[in-house]
Amino acid sequence: MFGKVKKSKSRLVNVNEMIQKAIEGKYAIAHINTNNLEWTTAILEAAQETNSPVIIGVSEGAAKYQNGFKNVFDMVNNTMEYLNITVPVALHLDHGSYEGAKKALEAGFSSVMFDGSHYELNENLAKTKEIVELAKKYNASVEAEVGTIGGEEDGVVGQGEVADPNECKMIADLNVSILAAGIGNIHGLYPKNWKGLDFKVLAEIKDTIPSTGLVLHGGTGIPSNQIKKAISLGVVKINVNTECQIAFAQATRKYIQDKKDLDEKKKGFDPRKLLKPGKEAIKDMVIEKMKLFGSLGKA
Ligand code: 13P
């Protein structure tokens, strides 16, 4: 008879300790979205090589693409074991729905964002409260959101709203670990006429909820000086997705334009070769972001 399959125990941590340290040390943790095995490996290698804590983000759409939350959990967890990753890693549902957050927790995610920003405030508060209670049972952390973040994320389109500090306080009082508050940030590429981050509102939010870690979504394309200022005003988690996608696409395009995939002798068509430059480009981008956010050596 076959032996029983042994399920590997979770190597993931929630974000609480890494966020607390980041608040004290005035730096930000990189949240990098993953899309597949190349992404996951690149993110984990970047974190380990630079001794940085990291948050691996997965949207519901990206989880579906990777055949579900369980598959994502197993891939991240098993890759950590295989590569001997010892830095703190959280696996975090990005912009989760109410049902999605529950499913991700069940599958072993160590952190979830419940994005109730499109509900009216009382419903957002009630649902966030339930998810916080449920997450406690899994020792997982929760990110909440007030004020929609602009741009498009997996079909959800926001208007680049700016959050109300009083609403931030109401959500923070539910004991969420981190809070995404819109301050004029946008997912994807910023339009030429973008006005920049609203630092006045960011400072007001920080004054209102000094002990809650603030999250900056839409990390792609925000100029370095604005990133640094946001960190100095209390941002401790910065989400980056599009920039890694562009880096991957550019490197893959170059490989094909150089006709390396057509080199039959070297088997340039082998996916391990074809996807390697893209994977390395993601890794370089993640390290660049960690350096900018000040998290190198903070594991
Ligand atoms: P970008 O794709 O703009 O980097 O935003 C990522 C993000 O905020 C994920 O939640």
SS3 readout for the chain: CCCCCCCCCCCCCCCHHHHHHHHHHCCCEEEEECCCHHHHHHHHHHHHHCCCCEEEEEEHHHHHHCCCHHHHHHHHHHHHHHCCCCCCEEEEEEEECHHHHHHHHHHCCCEEEECCCCCCHHHHHHHHHHHHHHHHHCCCEEEEEECCCEEEECCEEECCCECCHHHHHHHHCCCCCEEEECECCECCCCCCCCCCCCHHHHHHHHHHCCCCEEEECCCCCCCHHHHHHHHHCCEEEEEECHHHHHHHHHHHHHHHHCCHHHCCCCCCCCHHHHCHHHHHHHHHHHHHHHHHHCCCCCC
**Is 11 a domain residue?**
no
Q: Model's pTM, two decimal places? A: 0.94
Whether 148 has a pLDDT exceeding 70, the answer reads: no
What's the gap in Å between 163 CA and the centre of ligand 1?
17
141 or 161, higher pLDDT: 141
Q: Quick one: pLDDT band at residue 2, thresholds 50, 70, 90?
A: low
pLDDT tens for 161-214 read: 789 999 999 999 999 999 999 999 988 998 888 889 999 999 999 999 999 999
Ligand 1 centroid to 57 CA: how many Å? 10
Is 298 among the domain residues?
no
Can you tell me the mean pLDDT for 212-237?
97
- Asked, for residue 5, whether it belongs to a domain, the answer is no
CATH number at residue 192: 3.20.20.70
Average pLDDT, the chain: 94
Task: Tell me how many domains the chain contains.
Answer: 1
Identify whether 94 is part of a domain: yes
Active-site residue flag, 154: no
Q: Which of 94, 115, 164, 261 is catalytic?
A: 94
**pLDDT digits over 9-25, tens only?**
999 999 999 999 999 99
Q: Which atom of ligand 1 is nearest to the CA of 94?
A: 10
Does residue 7 belong to any structural domain of this protein? no
Residue 2 in any domain: the answer is no
Give residue ranges with CB within 6 A of ligand 1.
33, 57, 94-95, 153, 187-188, 217-220, 239-243
What range does the domain containing 214 cover?
A: 16-293
Supply the pLDDT for residue 238.
98
Q: Does the structure show a pLDDT above 80 at 157?
A: no
What is the atom index within ligand 1 of the atom nearest the CA of 219? 4
Q: Of residues 194 and 78, which shows the higher confidence score?
A: 78
Q: Is 10 within the bounds of a domain?
A: no
